[in-house]
C-alpha cells in the first residue's frame, strides 16, 4: 500500500517506521526542515508508563480556578473570546470538565496504562533493531512531594497504578534519597515520594531524528519544508493531500506551486495542528494546544546531578538528565496556538523553571539567565491535548483517512506504540491491547468523550 504520513514528530516518524516494517511504501510530509522540530523537540524526556494520570481529575476544576491569576501556575486556563475560533477552547474546556470525576479518571488511566505498556515494549523493540543512541537512562522515574496533604494521596495513586500492573511504590524521604542522592540538599523540604523502577528517560528529538534517517535509508520519502494545506475529498474518501514547498526551501525555489499527493491511505499526525487540518474534510476532533515550557541547562557539577528522572509535585515539573545537560519541563497553559517565549507570562514561567532548579539542586547547573551571562535554552511546545489525555489512533469516517494525534502530555511515552498500533490497523490487524481505537469502538467517538 502507498501511505502518506502527515507530520514528522515522534508520532508520524514512528508510524512511518512501523509501516515500512510491514512492507508499505511511505511518504512523510512536514513543514519543518527536519523531523521533531515542533512539540517533540525539547520535552521532559520521560518514558512514563506509570506516571500517566490525566490532568482531568476531581480536584482539577477548583485548582484551575485558584491558579487562574498566577503567572507561574502549573495549570493555567487563559480564556479566549468565545467568537471566531475561540469557542473551540470553551467547548474543549467543557469536555475537560466532564472528565473531572473519579469514574472517568479511572477509565482514562486504564487506557493510558494499556497504551503505555504496549508502547514501552514497542520502543525497546525499535531500540534493539536500530541501536539508536538518545541519552537513554533506564533508571526509573521518581516523584517527590513537599506538601504532606499531597503526599497523603500518593498511596491511592500508587495503588491505582498497581491495579493495572504498574509497580509504582510509595517511598520515604530516606528511601528516595537512596534511589537518587542528588536531591539531598533539598531533603529538608521533601516529605516523601513514589518510585517506579521500570520507567525510563531519553531525548525524544535525538531519537525521532535518528529514526527518521533510518526510515529514509529503508526507502521512505521525506518531503520536508512542505506545508500541508488541506485534504481533498471525492465522495466520502480522501482523494489527495494538497501541499506546497515553503519559500526558500530547495523545492520552493521554482515558485510556490501547490502539489497534490495521492495515496491508498493518508495518516494525519500533525500534533495540535491535526484538528484544523482534519476539519477541512469535516472530521472534528477535540484536540486543543496545551502550551508547556522547558529549560535546558549546562551541568556545572555532573557528579552531583541526578540520573533518575524525577517529578517535582509542587511545581508539576519533570527533571531529566540528558548527557551533560539537565532538562526541566512542565506546566500547561490552555490559551490557543501561541508559541511565544517573549511575553511577560512566558518569561515568568521560564524564570520559575530556572529558580526551581537552583533551589532543588543548588550549584549543579548554570541557571543564570542570559542577561546575567548564562546560556539557558528555553523552549515552548504545544501539547496536542484531548480532554481525556487519550490520543485518537485509528480510522476516521472519511475513507482512506487515518489519524494518530492527540497525545497530550504523553506523546514520547506513547510514540512507539501508537506508531506500531496504527501500522497494524492499516495492515488489517487489531493490536493486542485493551485500548479503544478511534473508529473501531463507538465509545471512543468524540461525542462519547463528554460522557462520564
Ligand atoms: C513541556 C512539555 C513536556 C513534555 N514532556 C513529555 C514527557 O516527558 N514524556 C512524554 O511522553 N511526553 C511529553 N510531552 C508530550 C510530547 O512532547 C508530545 O505529546 C509529542 O511530542 C507529540 O508528538 P506529535 O508527533 O504528535 O507532534 P509534533 O512533534 O508537534 O509533530 C507534528 C508535526 O507535524 C508538523 N505539522 C503540523 N502541521 C503541519 C502542516 N500544516 N503542514 C506540514 N507539517 C505540519 C509539524 O511541523 C510537526 O513536526 C511534553 C510536551 C511538552 C510541551
The pLDDT of residue 450 is: 42
CA 293 to ligand 1 center in whole angstroms: 13
Which ligand 1 atom sits nearest the alpha carbon of residue 46? 8
- Cβ atoms of 186 and 176 closer than 8 Å: no
Residues touching ligand 1 (Cβ under 6 Å) are 7-12, 29-32, 37-40, 43-46, 48, 227-228, 269-271, 273, 277, 292-294, 318, 329, 381, 383-384, 405, 407-413
Which SS3 state, helix, strand or coil, does residue 242 take?
strand
**DSSP states of 35-87:** SS-STTSS---EE-SS----S-STTHHHHHHHHTT-TT-SEEE-PPPSSTTTH
Q: What is the number of the ligand 1 atom nearest to the C-alpha of 330?
A: 1
Output the CA 304–ligand 1 centroid distance in Å: 31
Ligand 1: which atom is nearest the Cα of residue 294?
1
**Nearest in space to 3 (alpha carbons), one of 281, 262, 202:** 262
CA 245 to chain CA centroid, nearest Å: 27
Span from the CA of 216 to the centroid of ligand 1 (angstroms) = 20
| pLDDT attached to residue 235 | 94
Q: Helices H, strands E: what count in the chain?
A: 12, 20
**pLDDT lower than 50: segments of the chain:** 450-452
Written in H, E and C, the secondary structure of 359-421 is HHCCCCECCCCHHHCCCCEEEEEEEEECCCCCCEEEECCCECEEEEECCHHHHHHHHHHHHHH
CATH node for 55-110+134-199+288-385 = 3.30.9.10
pLDDT value of position 83: 80
Q: Which residues of the chain are in CATH 3.50.50.60 domains? A: 2-41+206-287+388-449
At residue 441, the pLDDT reads: 76
Q: Which architecture, in CATH terms, is 2-41+206-287+388-449?
A: 3-Layer(bba) Sandwich (3.50)
State the pTM of this model: 0.96
Percentage of the chain with pLDDT > 90? 85
**Dist CA 317 CA 299 (whole Å):** 18
Residue 383 alpha carbon, nearest atom of ligand 1: 53
Residues of the chain within CATH 3.30.9.10 domain(s) are 55-110+134-199+288-385
pLDDT of residue 394: 97
Amino acid at each position: 500500500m502507498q501511505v502518506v504520513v502527515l507530520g514528522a514528530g515522534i508520532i508520524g516518524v514512528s508510524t512511518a517506521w512501523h509501516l515500512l516494517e510491514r512492507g508499505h511504501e511511505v511518504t512523510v510530509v512536514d513543514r519543518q526542515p527536519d523531523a521533531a522540530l515542533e512539540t517533540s523537540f525539547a520535552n521532559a524526556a520521560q518514558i512514563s508508563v506509570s506516571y500517566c494520570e490525566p490532568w482531568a481529575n476531581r480536584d482539577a476544576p477548583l485548582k484551575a480556578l485558584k491558579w487562574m491569576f498566577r503567572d507561574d501556575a502549573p495549570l493555567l486556563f487563559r480564556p479566549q473570546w468565545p467568537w471566531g475560533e475561540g469557542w473551540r477552547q470553551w467547548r474543549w474546556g467543557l469536555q475537560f470538565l466532564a472528565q473531572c470525576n473519579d469514574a472517568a479518571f479511572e477509565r482514562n488511566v486504564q487506557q493510558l496504562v494499556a497504551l503505555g505498556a504496549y508502547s514501552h515494549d514497542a520502543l525497546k523493540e525499535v531500540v534493539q533493531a536500530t541501536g539508536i543512541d538518545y541519552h537513554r537512562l533506564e533508571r526509573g522515574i521518581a516523584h517527590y512531594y513537599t506538601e504532606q496533604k499531597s503526599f497523603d494521596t500518593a498511596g491511592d495513586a500508587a495503588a491505582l497504578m498497581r491495579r493495572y500492573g504498574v509497580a509504582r511504590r510509595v517511598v520515604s524521604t530516606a528511601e528516595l534519597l537512596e534511589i537518587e542522592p542528588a536531591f539531598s540538599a533539598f531533603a529538608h523540604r521533601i516529605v516523601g515520594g513514589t518510585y517506579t523502577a521500570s520507567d525510563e528517560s531519553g531525548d525524544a528529538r535525538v531519537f525521532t531524528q535518528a529514526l527518521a534517517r533510518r526510515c529514509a535509508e529503508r526507502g521512505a520519502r521525506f518531503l520536508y519544508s512542505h506545508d500541508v494545506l488541506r485534504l481533498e475529498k471525492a465522495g466520502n474518501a480522501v482523494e489527495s493531500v494538497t501541499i506546497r514547498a515553503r519559500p526558500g526551501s530547495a523545492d520552493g525555489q521554482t515558485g510556490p506551486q501547490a502539489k497534490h499527493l495521492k495515496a491508498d491511505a493518508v495518516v494525519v499526525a500533525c500534533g495540535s495542528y491535526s484538528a484544523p487540518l482534519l476539519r477541512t474534510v469535516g472530521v472534528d476532533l477535540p484536540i486543543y494546544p496545551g502550551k508547556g515550557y522547558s529549560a535546558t541547562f549546562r551541568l556545572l557539577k555532573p557528579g552531583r546531578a541526578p540520573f533518575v528522572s524525577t517529578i517535582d509535585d509542587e511545581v508539576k515539573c519533570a527533571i531529566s538528565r540528558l548527557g551533560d545537560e539537565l532538562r526541566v519541563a512542565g506546566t500547561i497553559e490552555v490559551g490557543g496556538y501561541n508559541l511565544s517565549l517573549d511575553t511577560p507570562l512566558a518569561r515568568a514561567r521560564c524564570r520559575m523553571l530556572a529558580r526551581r532548579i537552583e533551589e532543588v539542586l543548588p550549584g549543579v547547573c548554570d541557571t543564570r539567565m542570559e542577561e546575567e551571562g548564562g546560556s539557558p535554552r528555553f523552549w515552548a511546545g504545544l501539547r496536542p491535548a484531548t480532554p481525556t489525555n487519550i490520543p485518537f489512533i485509528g480510522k476516521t469516517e472519511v475513507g482512506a483517512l487515518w489519524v494518530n494525534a492527540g497525545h497530550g502530555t504523553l506523546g514520547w511515552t506513547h510514540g512507539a506504540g501508537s506508531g506500531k498500533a496504527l501500522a497494524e490497523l492499516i495492515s488489517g490487524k487489531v493490536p493486542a491491547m485493551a485500548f479503544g481505537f478511534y473508529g473501531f469502538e463507538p465509545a471512543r467517538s468524540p461525542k462519547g468523550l463528554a460522557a462520564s
